[in-house]
């Protein structure tokens, strides 16, 4: 899980290619865990409010680029991220799209990120 998160941070400026569904959600879960820890500390210590805010802003861009690669993996355009502007309904639709199965063949965004013979739904 931490490995997927570190790889996501390393690829922060890469919007081309594809990203596996399991790696995206592992990194997302790790990020949520960090945000919850920082929120708990910021509740008691005022300094952590700034740490929380800075971390949130810094981690925003890598997750946008990862979401773009995730959409590419299911053969969708990055323009679908604009659904995030629509309150709640857009968020739910976007979350469902990020959970969709990968296109098992090579598509216009790149080769299949899964190893040969890897079973995925």
pTM to 2 decimal places? 0.87
* Tens-place pLDDT, residues 30-64: 999 999 999 999 888 888 889 999 999 999 999 99
Task: Kindly report the number of other CB atoms within 10 A of residue 75's CB atom.
Answer: 14
* Tens-place pLDDT, residues 79-121: 999 999 999 999 999 999 999 988 888 889 998 887 766 666 5
Q: At a CB cut-off of 8 Å and minimum separation 6, what does 102 contact? A: 18, 20, 21, 73, 74, 112, 113, 114, 120
Q: 107 by DSSP, 3-state: which?
A: strand
Alpha helices in the chain (DSSP H): 2-10, 21-44, 47-73, 89-99
């Amino acid at each position: 899980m931490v490995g997927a998160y570190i790889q996501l941070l390393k690829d922060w400026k890469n919007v081309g290619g594809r990203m596996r569904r399991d790696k995206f959600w592992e990194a997302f879960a790790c990020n949520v865990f960090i945000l919850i820890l920082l929120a708990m500390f910021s509740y008691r210590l005022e300094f952590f409010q700034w740490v929380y805010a800075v971390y949130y802003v810094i981690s925003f861009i890598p997750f946008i680029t990862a979401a773009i690669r995730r959409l590419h993996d299911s053969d969708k355009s990055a323009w679908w991220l604009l659904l995030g502007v629509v309150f709640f309904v857009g968020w739910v639709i976007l979350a469902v799209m990020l959970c969709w199965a990968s296109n098992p063949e090579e598509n216009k965004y790149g080769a299949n990120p899964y190893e040969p013979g890897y079973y995925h739904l």
